[in-house]
Structure 1
Amino acid sequence: MTQTFLTDAEVDELVGAYEAGATLRGLARQFHIHRLTAAAHLARRGVTVRRAGLNSAQAKEAARLYEAGWTLVQLGRRFEVDAQTVRRTIARQGVAIRPGGRPRRRDKRGSSAA
């Protein structure tokens, strides 16, 4: 990643956006910086960084979508959190986590191809 320096005005904008509800990932994309750099700017300005995670409604929706076939990565992108955050959240709700890796291909008869 190319190093990007933010001006004081850009850091002010970053802080304002975060305080208005933007996520670290969203800020990182917006300002072309790493999310940890965004967090460091906030810390230097005395802003408490919110704990990443899903609220109750998001957790229920994530569990429903996962059971409908969505992947952890897809859910992480949708909710702007890490896939492992989604995994922990839905596992705590009793959702069985599918084995990792790519899904096995099926041949035309419907049986698994080796």
Structure 2
Amino acid sequence: MNWDVLVHLAGWFSNPRKPLMTLIRRVLRGTRRSVSRPEREPIEDVRGPVAENSPRPQTRLSVPNRAALAEEYAKGVPVDELVRRFGVHRTTVHRLAAQAGVAVRRRGLDERGRREAARLYEKGMTLEEVAAKLGVGDETVRSAVVTSGGTIRQRGRRPSL
């Protein structure tokens, strides 16, 4: 039997895949020794180490901008305006204000506002309607109603007034 013909036929009908061919070429060519890169020293500035490969874009405020943000916050400038002006997240505004020693403002209702929210809700307004009237979030109204001893109605059609 002629083995050369059989080997040739086997090669003719086989269909080696690209990854296999790549592996064979690399084995035949020989492995190259990989050169390890020297370790880089961490990058630092006056604020400390700089984060690398952050999954989200971050705005790093300079020391004067941090002071300006804290000063504006202390004057009572709304957080949403500071977020827009400085390009940071609202939690960053609160964190920087606290770091600067400024008392952090909490949005919400005082005792009188909580009683008013509970009264309006008990009269038949929805949480969203009370929230819009008082200029707060519906979760703030829900909390005020529960704190005042009220119960939250089930969702759905309101009873006619």
For 1:26 and 1:75, how far apart are their aligned partners in 2?
21
Which of 74, 77, 97 is equivalent to 1:19?
74
- Contact persistence 1:42–1:49 (CA under 8 A): yes
* Residue 35 of structure 1: how far off its partner (Å): 2.1
Residues 66, 40 of structure 1: CA spacing in aligned structure 2 closer, same or farther, 3 A cutoff?
A: same
For 1:48 and 1:35, how far apart are their aligned partners in 2?
15
Identity %: 34
Find out whether 1:33 has 2:82 as its counterpart: no
**What does residue 94 of structure 1 align with?**
149
* Residue 5 of structure 1: how far off its partner (Å): 3.5
TM-score (norm 1): 0.57
* Residue 41 of structure 1: how far off its partner (Å): 0.9
Number of corresponding residues: 102
Residues 96, 18 of structure 1: CA spacing in aligned structure 2 closer, same or farther, 3 A cutoff?
A: same
Residues 25, 72 of structure 1: CA spacing in aligned structure 2 closer, same or farther, 3 A cutoff?
A: farther
SS in 2 for 1:41: helix
SS in 2 for 1:53: coil
**What does residue 46 of structure 1 align with?**
101
- Contact persistence 1:72–1:87 (CA under 8 A): no
TM-score (norm 2): 0.44
Amino acid at match of 1:71: L
Amino acid at match of 1:78: G
Coordinate RMSD, CA, aligned: 3.6
- Contact persistence 1:42–1:48 (CA under 8 A): yes
Q: Which has the larger radius of gyration?
A: 2
Which of 110, 113, 117 is equivalent to 1:55?
110
Residues 28, 83 of structure 1: CA spacing in aligned structure 2 closer, same or farther, 3 A cutoff?
A: farther
For 2:111 and 2:73, how far apart are their aligned partners in 1?
21
Find out whether 1:75 has 2:131 as its counterpart: yes
- Contact persistence 1:4–1:32 (CA under 8 A): yes
For 2:117 and 2:103, how far apart are their aligned partners in 1?
26
The structure showing larger relative contact order (alpha-carbon pairs under 8 Å, at least 6 residues apart) is: 1
Amino acid at match of 1:69: M
